[in-house]
Amino acid sequence: MMRWTMPAALLLLAACSGGQDDESGPEASSNVGPLQKAERPAPAETPEADAEAKAPATAEADDQVDGKTIPPAIRGRWALKAADCAARRGTDLTALTIDATNLRFFESHGELARVQASDAGSIVADYKFSGEGEEWDRRMQLDLADGGKTLVRRDSGEGAAADAMRYTRCAG
């Protein structure tokens, strides 16, 4: 229970903070950086969308690709350096932790803003990042490779890394 309390508190704190979205963060050249501002989509106004929004969340729904979250197969803990998988949390400098709507790096956090395309093993989406007192937007493509053992990350936009980054899935 305590494990979830701290990240939830930090997320709430981050949601309340102000900032400018057009600045690039300190990790712009290595992990993340600016993207043209992406507007959040307007909520659907169809009866089907209303029914879907009111439906209770289930574990079964979490296992499916819904186009609104990061696909379950991509979620988990990854690292650029395999040794960082064994490192204690907080000292794992190249680790990337992915949940349904967030990307967490060593010194930054990206919240899913808009899914551009996704399927069971890949997603192209816009994220709102914050870290070290900065805020920026970034479009990222995440693709599974090597039977799900490798995650290939490609960033796009101003300040994005030129080459793809390959992460190794960390055990449990």
Residue 53, class by beta-carbon neighbours within 10 Å (0-12 exposed, 13-18 middle, 19+ buried)? exposed
Percent of the chain with pLDDT over 90: 48
d(CA 137, CA 126): 7
pTM exceeds cut of 0.75:
no
**Higher-pLDDT residue of 54, 75:** 75
DSSP reduced 3-state for 71: coil
Q: Are 99 and 75 in contact (CB under 8 A)?
A: yes
pLDDT of 125 higher than 80 = yes
- What rounded mean pLDDT belongs to the chain? 72
* Largest pairwise CA distance in the chain: 50
Among 10-24, 90-104, 150-164, name the one with the lowest average pLDDT: 10-24
Nearest to 28 by CA among 116, 157, 166: 157
What is the 8-class DSSP label of residue 146?
G
SS3 content of the chain, % helix, strand, coil (to 5): 20, 35, 45
Delimit the domains of the chain by residue range.
68-172
